[in-house]
Chains A and B, each alone.
Chain A
Amino acid sequence: MKLAVVVQRYGQTVNGGAELHARYIAEHLAKHAEVEVLTTCATDYVTWRNALPPGIEAVNGVPVRRFRVKHERDPHLFARRSDRVFEHRHSLGDELDWVDAEGPNSPALIDHLSARASAYDYCLFFSYRYWVSYYGARAAARRAILVPTAERDAAIGLSMFHPVFRGVRALMYNSHEERAMIEGVSGNQDVPGVVVGIGSDVPKNPQPARFRQKYSIGGPFAIYVGRIDRNKGCTELFEFFQGYVRDAPGRLTLVLIGNSLLPIPENPRIRHLGFLDDADKFDAMAAADLLIMPSYFESLSMVALEAWALGRPVLANGRCDVLKGQCLRSNAGLYYETYGEFLETLRAIEQNRWLSGTLGRNGLRFFRDNYDWPVIERKYLDMLGRLSRDSTPRTMLGLPGPLERRRQNRPPAEEVVAALPTGPSLVRERDDLPLSDGGPGLRARRPS
């Protein structure tokens, strides 16, 4: 079986969520099939500047074919078009202009897919919102499997994506909430889909003591791992944690790991360690009492899964449906929506070691049952097997003519998103495991 993995950027130094997701999946599927990655020469997601040479190279043993980006992104144009389609009534042409402005525009990649699609059994497209995925899925619709990595932002409300959601062969979702959202917006319930997510290579023997010694951190601490950004809810986290230091007699310190786009508050109980390598990061997470995830929008929090894999409880922002749903389904984390709840949940985990330990154990079990690599690989292989047996013809609606594209009949994307159902999905992960012709045999196996 030959598979193409299509993603906007790819490389060992590319650490974006969807890009890392694509790399992990490509490397793990390469054990079971012939995998080729089709991507652009860009490494910067803001400009899409061609930073790498076009052609074929191997990354961790997986062949990667790079194509040039035709033009860089103009941020002003992109912002203007985003305002247009997100906030005003607009036309399909406006939406197509928006995806052109977002990029990365790589006609060479699409030409390659159109000409060579038959050379692949299936093409896995990562991140529905980018130019290469949108036009690539259209070019190879009969072989397209979409990994949407969709968040609850305005882009999901653009009508141009609905035919893609309905026309691909299958969708590999990251969470039940993402699935409900995409099904709600596009009505693609009949398209085969499965909630898969992604695994993580968590070390078996992390060294928490080494981390404490290296960074001179004593006493209990909560950890945040990720980009320190307003969009990730860090401003609110700082405000709440400083309130905790002021109002509650707790002993926790907040340790921040990741590059910061925000000023870190001057507080002796808040320590920023910057970007750490994976070994230090996992040691830090193993040393922490809990992980805090303050983000409002996530399609799947890899960091939360890693914390659970290390047996650590998670305190998540309850306004993010995905995180809340994962906490409820796993019984491995608490969540907050207000300052009062933040204080109370943090104190509960801090002061009640039994609760903390039980949440951590549940998290470990949840990770092993649903997100360990053998489980993830099995879900992908099951889906591929199912598709190879399924001969149901599926067509993707083509783009309408120029006149139709100019009709101002599309509602603002934000209105569409606001009308979507909210709240966490309470479907248990294992309910999703049996696929088409499932049964006990297709259940994910637990690693020995």
Chain B
Amino acid sequence: MPDFNVRSDSVNVEQIMEQLRARVREKRGVDYTEQQIRELAAVKLEKFLDPRGVRSDLLDQFRNTQPGSRPNYAFEEETLFETHRAPIRWIRRLLRPVLKLLFNPNPLIHALHIQAQLNTMNAERDGLYFEVTHNLVIETTRLGIEVKNLTMRLESLASRLEFNERRARALESVVAYRTAPHGAPVAAAIPAVAAPPPSQPTMGARESQSPPGTAPEGPGQRSRRRRRRRGRRGGAPAVATMGASTSAGPTSPPRSGHIGDEPAEAANGASGELSAAPNNEPTGARGNTAESVGHAIAAEAHPSEPRSEGGLNPPDVDEQ
């Protein structure tokens, strides 16, 4: 993962932000802003309303039926008799009773008034339909993006889980404790690899312990259990994942003098065999093994995290 390029005394915020954004993209995929979501939604809406795609005149229909675009009129009681000329208005008012002698204009006025109201309502409803469709598309887009994000998050969690499993197995393989005959727990020996290459860490060695009072298992029993476990895990052995040599041959049962029921493949760096190691193995060797595993874990856990050597952490830190 990218690191900051801020080792000098001057920082460039723009550059740091680019690096951080690259890291965000790597971790979470693309994070859309609200504005981008809206733009995406608008694009989809246009596509959805594309005359070639859906219906030849759907887009035009929607546009034409926007509130205000369709002609309408307000029809009130006085509309028929309105005029901006005051004398004519006066004359009409004067002659209105005469008109009403000839026919009754009230039903006409009433019907037109209702029609005007219906027109207004329809115009509003069309606008509402358009808005609902628009909002639906926005929500669908947002949900699609959310699903994508959740999928990525799930993948991230799955990889974390897998890593934790590997880490637990690796830790088990490095340090083990057993109960001394008089009851006090003592550190068990880190088994030495039969013939490890000089450059390889001895992290593969592992020894487990059987519960007190249980008899040591036979080689065949242990081998069967190992096969079962490998089947359950369905993945590569820990050493392979942790970067140790994978040149191990077919697993062979542990030699005599070995206690515990842990399989050998996780600990078997080179030969796939565990050798009996004395309990009083020098702590230096154990320490080295643990350290190299720690490094491997750290590197895998947070590959983007700064390392103490030449990474993010500068030697001098001023608290303002």
Contacts and interface: CB of A to CB of B under 8 A. Distances in A.
Interface in A333-350: 333-335, 337-341, 343-345, 348
A355 B318 contact: no
A40 B312 CA distance: 55
A388 interface: no
Interface string B289-320: 00000000000000000100000111011111
A340 B317 CA distance: 27
A-B pairs, top 7 by smallest CB distance, nearest first, are: A311-B320, A354-B314, A338-B31, A340-B24, A360-B320, A353-B317, A340-B31
B320 A357 contact: yes
A354 B319 CA distance: 9
A356 to B, nearest CB: 8
Majority SS at the chain B contact face: loop
Majority SS at the chain A contact face: helix
Contact of B10 (A331, A337, A353): A331
A88 to B, nearest CB: 10
Given A354-B313, A364-B320, A359 B20 contact: no
Interface residues of B, number: 28
B150 interface: no
A334 B20 contact: yes
Given A348-B4, A354-B6, A362 B20 contact: no
Contact of B17 (A332, A334, A351, A357): A334
B276 to A, nearest CB: 41
Contacts of B320: 310-312, 357, 360-361, 364
26 contacts: A310-B320, A328-B14, A334-B13, A334-B16, A334-B17, A334-B20, A339-B31, A340-B24, A340-B27, A340-B28, A341-B20, A343-B24, A344-B20, A348-B4, A348-B16, A353-B313, A354-B6, A354-B312, A354-B317, A355-B4, A355-B6, A357-B317, A358-B6, A358-B9, A358-B11, A360-B320
A361 B317 CA distance: 11
Q: How large is the interface on A (under 10, 10 to 19, 20 to 34, 35 or more residues)?
A: 20 to 34
A249 to B, nearest CB: 10
Contacts of B312: 351-352, 354-355
A64 interface: no
A355 B31 contact: no
Contacts of B247: none
A327 interface: yes
A104 B4 CA distance: 51
